[in-house]
Amino acid sequence: MNIFTGIESTELFGGTGSPAVEDILTSVRGGSNDQVGAALWTAVLTHPQCLPPYYLLYRFHANRGELRDAKGVALRALSAAALQASIDTDWRLVQPNDTDFTIPGPARFWLITLKALAFINARLGDEAAARKLITKLHKLDPTDCIGLDVVNTLLQSNARTDDIFP
């Protein structure tokens, strides 16, 4: 999968990614985690309007268990996507009729990133924050096009673990 071109890029971001950013990331293909992380941060910081590197970077940190870093990147991604989608940068103020979240593009990426933020918060153990995000996601995506089951399952799993190990 190449999230910079083709179907994946269109579905996630509404178009192709920046060739300059793709060049940055291609240069470290097969590199160490440190090289990949540095390249992703370089891409995000030098091309803050390009959404694909945000996605790659918050997934990179989350996959490495660096959840606080993943959360910080997801928050940056929300802000960048909100500006491009012409919606409020405060997720709590966004309303279902502010934009069409079903169309591929920045608004849909914003919604997917909000889901990622809920997942990250759940993994961090901040159940209250995760539940607030899930509640907002249900309002913005009542047909659950983005699949909230994974976050709901994680929250239920956390609740069962808390019951077993008080």
Report the domain count for the chain: 1
1 in a structural domain: no
45 in a structural domain: yes
Task: Give the range of the structural domain holding residue 144, as residue numbers without chain letter.
Answer: 6-164
126 in a structural domain: yes
DSSP, residue by residue, 28-93: TTT--HHHHHHHHHHHHHH-TT-HHHHHHHHHHHHHTT-HHHHHHHHHHHHHHHHHHHT--SSGGG
Q: Average pLDDT for consecutive 10-residue bins of the chain (166 residues)?
A: 55 73 86 92 94 92 96 97 96 96 92 94 93 93 85 73 38
Return the pLDDT at 6. 54
Q: How far apart are CA 44 and CA 53, in angstroms?
A: 6
Return the pLDDT at 146. 84
**Beta carbons of 70 and 62 less than 8 angstroms apart:** yes
Which residues, at least 6 apart from 108, have a Cβ–Cβ distance to it below 8 Å? 11, 12, 14, 101, 102
Q: What is the CATH number of the domain that holds 21?
A: 1.25.40.10
43 in a structural domain: yes
125 in a structural domain: yes
Return the pLDDT at 162. 43
Return the pLDDT at 19. 86
- Which of 137, 145, 93, 84 has its CA nearest to residue 115? 137
103 in a structural domain: yes
14 in a structural domain: yes
Quote the pTM value. 0.86
